[in-house]
Structure formats: C-alpha cells, structure tokens
Chains A and B, each alone.
Chain A
Amino acid sequence: MSHYIPPTHEHDLDPLEGRTALVQGQPSFGEVTEAVVRPIEKPNNKIWWLFFLPSFGLLGLFGLSVAWVVWEGIGAWGNNVPVGWGWPIINFVFWVGIGHAGTLISAVLFLFRQKWRTSINRASEAMTIFAVICALQFPVIHVGRVWMIYYALPIPNQMSVWPNFRSPLVWDVFAVATYFTVSLMFWYVGLIPDLATMRDRAKGKIGQIVYGLFSLGWRGSARHWVNYEAAYLLLAAMATPLVLSVHSIVSFDFAVSQLPGWHTTIFPPYFVAGAIFSGFGMVLTLMVPLRAWFGLKHIITIKHLENMAKIILLTGTLVGYAYGMELFIAWYSGNPYESFVFANRLFGDYWWAYWIMTSCNVITPQFIWFKKIRRSPIALFILSIFVNIGMWFERFVIVVSSQHHDFLPSSWDYFSPTIWDFTTFAGTFGLFFTLFLLFVRYVPVIALAEVKSVMPQANPHYVDPKRAAHGERRREPAKAVSGVVETPDVTVTGPTDAPKPASVVPPKDESFTFAPPPSAPSSDDESEDNHG
C-alpha cells in the first residue's frame, strides 16, 4: 500500500475513500470528543436559558390546556359533528410523521451503510422520541376520559370488554407503542458508549453516578464491541420496517373508513413519504441552528445538510405526485362523491388550507434542485420551516375537508378551532423543545463512537500522513508500558481519547523488562513491518 497523502482542498477528502471527508478539518479523535462535549461541560447557560424558559413556559401552557380539556371535556376543543377528528388527530399525525425521519436516519441509512448518518443520528433519534411523546398526548387526551385509556389495550377483564381488533385505531395503539419502544431502545443502546465517555470525563459526583448508572459499566472492550455491534444491527433491522409500518397504519385510520377523500389505496405510501418529508424538515429546523451554536459545523457539514435536502426533494416530490394522483383518481374514478370532495378541497370553504399545503409541500422542495440553495444552511432552514407548515396543513386538509362536507348535506358545517386547540398544540411545542433542550444540555448530541468509527483514522489500514511524510516506515512502539498493575490480565488500551495523549511515565525501575510468560514467545517485538 502506497503512502497516500490527502490533498489539502477546500474540503478535506477521506484519504481511504477519496470522497469528501465526513468530519472536516482533520481533527483527532480527542478533538472530536472535545467539540461534542463542550456544550455539556462548558455550556453557554445564557443562550440555553433563553431558549429553555419560553419552551418551559409553553409546556406550562400545555399542562394548563390539558387540565382544562380534561376538566371541561373535549368539547373545549373545536371538534364537533361533523368534524369529530379536529386538531387532536391533525396534531397526532403531524408529530408522529416528524418522528419518521429519525428512524430512517438511524435504522434505514445504517442498513444501507450510509456513513454520513453518524453525525446526525443521535439528535434525530432524540427528535423521534420526543415527537412521538408529543404525538401520543393527543389520542390519549382525545379519548375524553383519560383515566380509562387502558381500555385501548387488550387487557383481560371480567366483563370481557375488548378493543375492536378490526379497527385501525387499535392497530395504531400497537404500531405507535412498538415504535416508541423500539426507538427508545435503539437510541439508548447507541448512547451507552457515549454515556461511558461522559462518565469517565465527569468531574462532579452527580455526573459520575448518573452517567455511570446509565452507561451500564461500559468499558469499550473489543469483545463487548462485537456484541454491541450485533445488537445495534438487530435493532436497526427491527426499526427499519417501522419506518414504513407506523405511518401506513396511521394512514389506515383514514383509509379503512368509508369517507370520500380518505378511502384510497394510495394513502400508506403517500403518508410514509409525507412523514419522511416532514421529519427531515424538522431535522433541518433543529440541526441548522444546533451546528452553528454548538460549533459543530465541521461534524455536521454542508454535505450532511445537502444529503438531507436531497431526501426532502425526493419525498416532497413523491408527496406532490400523490396530490396529483388523488386529483386524477377523483376524476378518473367517476365517483361523484370522490370528485365532489376534491373539488371542495381545492375551491370550497377550506381552499386556503389546500393551497397553503400545495405551495409549501410541492413548490418548496423544488428549490432544492439548485445547488446554491441546498448548500446554504440559511436557505435550508427557511425551506424547512415551510415544510413544517405545509405538512401540518396537509393533515388539516385531509382531516377537516373530508369531514365537514360528508354524505349528509344537513350536517355540513364549518369547523373552527377554539383557543384551547391553539394552546394545546402550542403546548406540545413546549413539551418537544423542553425535552430537546434538556437533551442537548446533558447528552452528547453527536454519536461520538459512531462518528469516530467512520473517520479515516479509525481504519486499521490508515497511514498517518505526517508519519508517512517523515519517511517513517517503522511503527511507533507502544506509548508506554505502565509498570505493574494489580490485575492478572494483559491489557492493551486503544487509541486514547484525550486531545493530546498524556505522556505516560516510563517505568522507573531500570531492571524492568517486558517479561512474557515463559511458555509464550516474546510479544513486544516492534520490528519493522510492511504495513506502513
């Protein structure tokens, strides 16, 4: 293998793969750790509180709204016949959809060996979990008598009261509960090595205990890594079908009913594409400020943003196709009810919602064709806000426009949300951002172990260009042999995690020698080899 010295371009290239390096600026492993843990160890408390207080205030508003809705009954919300599913279901689908990007990044991209996922998977998975928590609030409160929610689960009881297993709403209970459990497991398993890093770095007693408890005694042994990676692969394989199944089942909530505008076979793929679209929108909304404020632009690079933008372009275009196909089928089916619903969507009472949806979801992603735009963080941030708005309106259009003019003209009505609809929805943003801000404050926002493992230096075949430039064909001998340790095991420690490897004191005893067991041949032979 020849000594390959990476060219010093504007963008660092990966010396082994020749592609743009995923981590720019050629930092050492220790420097990556320092950059990622800095917001936790030396936080900018002013900015954090500036964001946390409003979020926490909104969370309080959420508590207030929920208390009122539970006290007064869900009539406090605007949903009423004929629009029985008002904002609660819109918001549920909105939040669940957002979660899908995190699962796609963490599971699907993992199985496809997309190494760039490592910079963004931690925060995206956190976003998934928090979004699903927000989503779950709505159906739970929407049942009205929250304290009876356990009837949604098939719990054996004396009266043999079971949920209706033929109802997609029950499938939804299973789908979302599975989704939440698997997402949490996947996120936590990924966190263990990084929590161990935090534990080892923790100065205070509380940090040592809490990070220590949650890192489950992780030490980074090579034998553990083998099991760990197998478990991670299995969890990725389990999470991957969920990317498709969860929102398919959410779409069944609509598609299995007999209502025109809902009863269509295109719903599952259309909903999944929309979910990934909206989720990547939210990931960009979170990542663009995050990478700037936390000084992580060299780890979450423009290339990462560009890749996410491309997924937004793809899924957004799929969503646009689904909109077009819905209209086409409404005409082509010759079904007067179906065509009425779509004419009503486009030009009826809620025409404004339809056109907000269409312009945000169909036109916005098309800007990403332009390279200048998809490599500009500010432009992507603005586009992502439009995606978020558009995808909320998509659910509004689907839920409200099909219900408010159904089969019976005498029941037709114009749906208006109440103030409590607004406060509950705004409150879930408080819940979401409170959780997310606590996450960025106490947990590494980037999967340290995973990012390091895709850096070129992590490959055992990598040759340090500095050493190569000096014509050093000989490997450095082990940094030190640290004398007598009170353990019968020979321990070989891996690449150091410190920014500059601490100089280890050589043994003071002059007579110290590396004495292998008599049966084994010498193992400290550091002779020249050809691996360089």
Chain B
Amino acid sequence: MAKPPKIYGLLAEYETPADLYHACEKVRDAGYGAWDAYSPFPVHGLEKAMGVQPSVVPWIVCALGFIGAA
C-alpha cells in the first residue's frame, strides 16, 4: 500500500453558518488547537463553538487608552 501523502492541514468549506457552527463544535471537541474559522460576516456564538479564549486585545486597548496612546 502506497504511503499516504503527508498532511499539513485541512480546509473545509461549509454552506451555512449552522454547518460551520456544528463543525467548529466538533473540531473543538476533538481537541485541536491550531485552527480557525473564517466567515464573511460575524457568526454569533462561533467563538464559543470554537472554544476561543477571551481576547487580550480589549485590555491592551484599555491600557493604551488610559495612558493616552489611543
């Protein structure tokens, strides 16, 4: 049997936000770390389906805003 090609990554395309959402839940539950989901508009709740940790950007923005760097 031929050796399967080395897989560097996978790309899947979904037609609806619902499909994307459920797929993200599965990828999250499967324990993957380095992955992302792309959509042309914000799909609400997707960050939860992906298990994304809260972003640190707001804290940086807040700190810079307070020291007048905004």
Q: A residues within 8 Å of B by Cβ?
A: 29, 33, 193, 197, 219-223, 225-231, 234, 448-450, 452-453, 457-464, 475-476, 478-482, 484-497, 501, 504, 509, 511-517, 519-525, 529, 531
Contacts and interface: CB of A to CB of B under 8 A. Distances in A.
A519 B32 CA distance: 9
Contacts of A504: 13
Given A478-B12, A514-B10, A492 B27 contact: yes
Contacts of A449: 40-42
B22 A475 contact: yes
Contacts of A452: 40-41
Interface residues of B, number: 50
A226 B47 contact: yes
Contact of B40 (A193, A509, A517): A193
B58 interface: yes
B35 A489 contact: yes
Contact of B38 (A222, A229, A485, A511): A222
Contacts of A522: 30
A519 B35 CA distance: 16
B34 interface: yes
A452 B44 CA distance: 12
B5 A509 contact: yes
B35 to A, nearest CB: 4
User: For B19, B39, B61, which residue has the most chain A Cβ atoms within 10 angstroms?
Assistant: B39
Contacts of A229: 42
A520 B31 contact: yes
Contacts of B50: 222-223
A449 B42 CA distance: 7
A59 to B, nearest CB: 34
A70 B2 CA distance: 82
A220 B41 CA distance: 7
Interface in B9-38: 9-24, 26-27, 29-32, 34-38
A460 B36 contact: no
Given A230-B58, A495-B14, A220 B22 contact: no
B66 interface: no
Contacts of B15: 476, 479, 495-496, 501
A263 B41 CA distance: 49
Given A492-B37, A492-B38, A514-B10, 17 more contacts: A193-B40, A221-B37, A222-B36, A449-B42, A457-B17, A460-B20, A480-B12, A484-B9, A486-B9, A488-B34, A491-B37, A492-B12, A512-B5, A519-B31, A520-B31, A531-B18, A531-B22
Nearest to B47: A226
